[in-house]
């Protein structure tokens, strides 16, 4: 089973910092087996080309964009399109992260349009879904994320769905103010997502306060095929440790 280990840097890192991280990764991976681990890195738009360039000798690492518009070109000041991020070296487009839904008016409609545009241009959509704390407290997590995924993916053909990655990132678990989810809290939503999408999409990932202490147990949850990581992976050492944890996991007999 492929284990995806990805990081989004959100709005962090200068070009120099981004290049250092990516060059360091290329050096660390050089000549090394990745077992069944699939690494990916999603820099801010300014650094996609530099990171892709720094990783040109290490094409096993996929580079992504944190967002892209649904139209290929046009009068959309401040936006970048899927062909533009592809031109810069991106092969994944992250879509619908909760920070974009909350602060930048990302809706189910725009998410859906961006998933379709990403597929149309041959890139991998990384669809982010996740419920707010109030929904979780009311017992509605599973219904909420299933509905969110359904609204983004409904109507896609089997072959298109087969290229999609889904990252379940509960909003209450993300970032400095988040608290790590427990395995028990994640079992029900992943069971439901696994039943609905497990065999149809390229992978179901977990994200939200992943750290070096909880990564192994999170990877052990049924239907979890990878981790999507913020803070723990912004320092290269943290990311490399996560790759090792994933490699151990992928080669463990089950």
- What is the set of active-site residues? 97, 169
Give the contacts of 125 (CB within 8 A, at least 6 positions apart): 92, 93, 95, 114, 115, 118, 119, 163, 164, 165
CA dist 172 and 250 (Å) reads 28
Q: At its nearest, how many Å lie between ligand 13P and the CB of residue 210? A: 5
Candidate residues 69, 97, 101, 136; the one interacting with ligand 13P per rule CB under 6 A: 97
Rule CB under 6 A: say whether 209 interacts with ligand 13P: yes
As measured in angstroms, the least distance from the Cβ of 65 to ligand 13P is 13
Q: How far is the CB of 144 from ligand 13P (least distance, A)?
A: 17
Given the complex with ligand 13P, which of 10 and 151 has the nearer CB atom? 10
How far apart, in whole angstroms, are the C-alpha atoms of residue 125 and residue 92? 6
175 in contact with ligand 13P (CB under 6 A): yes
Asked if residue 131 binds ligand 13P (CB under 6 A), the reply is: no
Does residue 170 belong to the site contacting ligand 13P (CB under 6 A)? no
Say how many Å lie between the first and final Cα of the chain, rounded.
11
Structure tokens at 208: 């939200």
- Contact call for residue 133 and ligand 13P (CB under 6 A): no
User: Closer CB to ligand 13P, residue 125 or residue 230?
Assistant: 230
According to the 3-state scheme, what is the secondary structure of 23-44?
A: HHHHHHHCCCCCCCEEEEEECC
Count of CB atoms situated within 10 Å of the CB of 185: 14
Q: Does 178 bind ligand 13P (CB under 6 A)?
A: yes
- Kindly state whether residue 228 participates in binding ligand 13P, applying the rule CB under 6 A: yes
| 106 lies in the site for ligand 13P, by CB under 6 A | no
Per-residue 3-state assignment (H helix, E strand, C coil) for 56-110: CCCCCCEEEECCCECCCCCCCCCCCEHHHHHHHCCCEEEECCHHHHHHCCCCHHH
Question: In sequence order, what are the beta bridge partners of 128?
Answer: 167
214 is a site residue for ligand 13P (CB under 6 A): no
Question: Is residue 125 involved in binding ligand 13P (CB under 6 A)?
Answer: no
Binding site for ligand 13P (CB under 6 A): 8, 97, 169, 174-175, 178, 207-210, 228-232
């Amino acid at each position: 089973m492929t284990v995806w280990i990805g990081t989004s840097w959100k709005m962090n890192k200068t070009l120099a910092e981004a290049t250092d991280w990516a060059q360091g990764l290329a050096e660390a991976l050089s000549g090394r087996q990745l077992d069944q681990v699939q690494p990916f890195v999603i820099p801010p738009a300014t650094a996609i080309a530099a990171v892709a360039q720094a990783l040109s000798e290490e094409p096993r690492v996929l580079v992504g964009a944190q967002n892209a518009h649904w139209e290929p070109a046009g009068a959309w000041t401040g936006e970048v399109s899927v062909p533009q991020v592809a031109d810069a070296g991106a092969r994944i487009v992250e879509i619908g992260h909760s920070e974009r839904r909350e602060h930048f008016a990302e809706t189910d409609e725009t998410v859906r349009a961006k998933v379709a545009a990403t597929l149309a241009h041959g890139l991998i959509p990384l669809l982010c879904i996740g419920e707010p704390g109030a929904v979780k407290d009311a017992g509605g997590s599973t219904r909420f994320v299933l509905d969110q995924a359904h609204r983004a993916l409904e109507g896609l053909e089997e072959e298109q769905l087969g290229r999609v990655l889904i990252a379940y990132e509960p909003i209450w678990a993300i970032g400095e103010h988040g608290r790590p989810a427990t395995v028990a809290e994640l079992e029900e939503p992943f069971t439901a997502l696994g039943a609905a999408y497990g065999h149809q999409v390229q992978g179901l990932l977990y994200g939200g306060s992943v750290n070096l202490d909880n990564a192994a147990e999170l990877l052990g949850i049924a239907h979890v095929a990878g981790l999507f990581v913020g803070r723990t992976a912004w320092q290269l050492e943290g990311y490399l440790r996560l790759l090792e944890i994933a490699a151990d996991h992928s080669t463990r007999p089950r």
